């Protein structure tokens, strides 16, 4: 049984809707229409310090101006990420319990300092095997296999 294709657009309501967002929304909308799929609007409203209801309304107004709105059966949403906070916490705890994630207590500054000292870019996996549990100032990181991960993208290749 074939599944209905779903094309997600997930803007953050932290500023004016811009041309890059419009382009992405239009691409996904056209794909949804051409494939008899669904355009899913998910509002990434988890940044309490920068979210603003006027920006959310601006996103909805701009999409409607582009002809993308809930008057069409191909449209679903908007769905708000903040409404799923408890589920996100539960899922994160499950990933940790399964060993698929680990806690890290390094700040962004610590990570940059280590990268500079090691002559590398980005996070080096320092906390991966430290056995940290949840705590203030800690983040949960995915435990991915070491080495390069190569993804074969149907549009852009590998």
Q: Are residues 119 and 56 in the same domain?
A: no
Is 151 contained in some domain? no
Which H or E run includes 42?
strand 38-43
Q: Are residues 74 and 111 in the same domain?
A: no
Q: Are residues 108 and 64 in the same domain?
A: no
| pLDDT tens string 82-115 | 999 999 999 999 999 999 999 999 999 999 999 9
Q: Are residues 16 and 80 in the same domain?
A: yes
| pLDDT tens string 6-34 | 999 999 999 999 999 999 999 999 999 99
| Residue 1 clears pLDDT 70, i.e. is over it | no
Is 158 contained in some domain? no
What does the pLDDT read at residue 118?
Answer: 94
DSSP string, 72-135: STTEEEEEEGGGGHHHHHHHHHHHHHTTSEEEE---HHHHHHHHHHHT--S---TTTTS---S-
CA distance 31 to 5: 9
Q: Are residues 10 and 77 in the same domain?
A: yes
| Domain count along the chain | 2
Q: Are residues 115 and 67 in the same domain?
A: no
Domain of residue 53 covers 6-84
> What is the pTM (predicted TM-score) of this model?
0.71
Q: Are residues 76 and 130 in the same domain?
A: no
CA distance 121 to 82: 32
Q: Are residues 70 and 108 in the same domain?
A: no
- CATH number where 35 lies: 3.40.50.620
Give CA separation, 57 vs 24, 51, 53, in Å. 18, 11, 6
Q: Are residues 80 and 114 in the same domain?
A: no
């Amino acid at each position: 049984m074939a599944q209905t294709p779903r094309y997600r657009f997930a803007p953050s309501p932290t500023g004016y809707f811009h041309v890059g967002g419009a382009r992405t929304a239009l691409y996904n909308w056209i794909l949804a229409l051409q494939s008899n799929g669904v355009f899913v609007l998910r509002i990434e409203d988890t940044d309490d310090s920068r979210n603003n209801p006027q920006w959310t309304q601006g996103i909805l107004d701009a999409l409607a101006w582009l002809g993308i709105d809930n008057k069409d059966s191909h449209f679903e949403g908007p769905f708000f990420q903040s409404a799923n906070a408890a589920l996100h916490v539960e899922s994160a705890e499950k990933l940790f319990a399964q060993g698929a994630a680990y806690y890290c207590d390094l700040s962004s500054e610590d990570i940059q300092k280590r990268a500079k000292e090691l002559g590398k870019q980005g996070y080096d996996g320092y906390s991966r095997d430290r056995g940290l549990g949840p705590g203030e100032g800690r983040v949960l990181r995915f435990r991915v296999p070491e080495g390069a991960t190569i993804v074969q993208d149907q549009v852009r290749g590998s």
